[in-house]
Amino acid sequence: MSTTTPAGAGGRRAVVTGGARGIGAAIVRRLAAAGATVAILDREADGARAVAAEVGGVAIAVDLADPAAVDDACAAAVAALGGCDVLVNDAGIFAKAPIRETTVEMWDTMMAVNGRAVLLTMRELAPHLAASGRGAVINIASMAAKLGTPGEAVYTATKAAVVALSRIAAFELGVDGVTVNSVCPGYVLTELGAATRTAEDVARWSAGSPLGRCTSPEEVADLVAFLASDQARGITGQALNVTAGMVTW
């Protein structure tokens, strides 16, 4: 494994969920640029294939809300890569509703993708991460896990679940030398949530940052690449912010 750069990933085999667009695509490109071979797990088959072709990786179409399909996709990724050294859970869905209008279906659907799929990919890939000798799991949560807003109760709950899962997984997988961390991005202006935000929202969010702006997908990807590298081998069980200073705890 190369450690010649601050986030060296040369020779590493990475599985990235939700890598077809947005933050996930930026993560795929960043890991590939650092020398990793990447398998993308995403229900958006065309987008996943396009990003995979761009970086010389592999695309596997999967509905992450289907437990059996998740298991099969993880097995396919391991077969394609010859193992797994890095797992990045980025896939997520978003919907807004006040608690009084929240439906059971909304809860079940968001929890299945944002929460349960994280558990299942870790479960299925844990033996391969352990065999790596320096496995790393990075689960993308959200600053909503620490500082939610009205109308996002379900989304906030799913992302808090990601942080909690990651913390316990750090203890359980750490005995095999596997690090597990969650990353909490701030407002990132990707397709996710685009239908519910306005220019006024973006201006208000930016005003809440010491840097006067929102977070870019590339900034999240840089932290993920660092956590996947050997330079981060002593960091585990953490929920790290990339919020342009909007959250400081």
Question: Which residues are catalytically annotated?
Answer: 155
3-state secondary structure the chain: CCCCCCCCCCCCEEEEECCCCHHHHHHHHHHHHCCCEEEEEECCHHHHHHHHHHHCCEEEECCCCCHHHHHHHHHHHHHHHCCCCEEEECCCCCCCECHHHCCHHHHHHHHHHHHHHHHHHHHHHHHHHHHHCCCEEEEECCHHHCCCCCCEHHHHHHHHHHHHHHHHHHHHHHCCCCEEEEEEECCECCCCCHHHCCHHHHHHHHHCCCCCCCECHHHHHHHHHHHCCHHHCCCCCCEEEECCCCCCC
